[in-house]
Amino acid sequence: MHNKDLVLEQYGTKKNLQTRVNIHKLYSQAPFLFAEWAFNQIEFKGSERALDAGCGSGAWLFPLATILSENGGSVVGIDLSEGMLSDIRAEANKHPNVELCIGDVQNLQFADESFDLVMANFMLYHVPDINRALEELKRVLKPGGKLMAATNSQLSMGPLWDMHVECQRKAAIPEHIVLRSVPNVGFSLENGSDFLRPHFQWFESNVLYDLLKFTDPEPLMDYYSSGVMKHGDTDNEISDNQWQCVYDFVREEVVTIINGDGCFSLPKTAGFFVAQNP
């Protein structure tokens, strides 16, 4: 299964993504939302024309639209998935400065120097050709315009991924699936600079260290089943009954930890790069 197929299967609608967005909102120990913190690091005029590449469920699109509405700015949200765009169209219609369209960040259908700001948040690690995507994002940036690219640390959520691997082996999931079950974060906080350096002369990174705390296993299990659980099963080789077995093993371990410690804690490290076009 190709990367594009995987993305469309996982993000065909906003359900799975929105589940994870909500978990981060509700169980984060930071006193502010990640997107709110990130936007506070950027100085806006409010008149910018912006692009949100891979806008997904609108977690960045709509807050940015609100910021830009203050002084006549606008934002175009693109996504590979028509289902995802359909799910957020009603909300988008409430923002007169938002436009939605299907688009691939590797082949943007916009003229050169079209935008003051382009965002590629938590999506570049899904892109087959990251360098091609960055070429396109830079191409549509105006001189002096900025790229914002948020991503995770390769170590983020480590205890959950470790448990996922352990419980797959307990459930006799084939080893080749176990070995590809932990994501190889193609664009991460650790390697993002290597991708950006050939395209931008200047950029900086901003990192937020956070913790998700769960006293009830169900929200964590919702998060687990929304994207972590079947991550390595790229060709749908494993039956639903086998995945249910893995799920039950993980839940049992989560409950044991919550009963013993009072909560299940997941360290979360995420951040964003800001690069400026000459």
Query: Which are the contacts of 81, defined by CB distance < 8 A and separation ≥ 6?
Result: 7, 8, 11, 12, 13, 102
Spatial separation of the C-alpha atoms in residues 83 and 93, rounded to whole Å: 16
In CATH terms, 3-155+183-212+267-276 corresponds, of 3.30.1360.120, 3.40.1260.10, 3.30.460.10, 3.40.50.150, to 3.40.50.150
pLDDT band at 18 (very low <50, low <70, confident <90, very high): confident
Q: What is the mean pLDDT of residues 39-49?
A: 95
Q: Give the C-alpha separation, 145 to 182, whole Å.
A: 35
For the entire predicted model, the pTM comes to 0.87
Q: Which tens digits make up the pLDDT trace of 91-104?
A: 999 999 999 999 99
With cut-offs at 50, 70 and 90, classify the pLDDT of residue 15: low
Residue 164 has pLDDT above 90, yes or no: yes
Here the contacts of 249-254 (C-beta below 8 Å, separation 24 or greater) are 249/167, 249/170, 249/171, 250/163, 250/164, 250/167, 250/221, 250/224, 251/217, 251/221, 253/163, 253/166, 253/167, 254/163, 254/214, 254/217, 254/220, 254/221
Distance CA 103, CA 226 (A): 24
Structure confidence at residue 204 as a pLDDT band (50, 70, 90): very high
The pLDDT > 70 percentage for the chain reads: 93
223-248 pLDDT tens trace = 999 889 998 898 899 999 999 999 99
Q: Mean pLDDT across the stretch 60-69? A: 97
Separation in Å, CA 101 to CA 52, 53, 91, 182, 226: 11, 10, 14, 32, 25
3-state secondary structure of 238: coil
Give 8's pLDDT tier (boundaries 50, 70, 90). Answer: very low
pLDDT, residue 17, reads 65
User: Quick one: DSSP state of residue 186?
Assistant: S
CA distance 252 to 160: 13
**Cα separations (Å) of 273 from 34, 43, 121?**
14, 14, 10
What's the mean per-residue pLDDT of the chain? 92
For residue 7, what pLDDT band results from cuts at 50, 70 and 90? very low
Domain ranges of the chain: 3-155+183-212+267-276
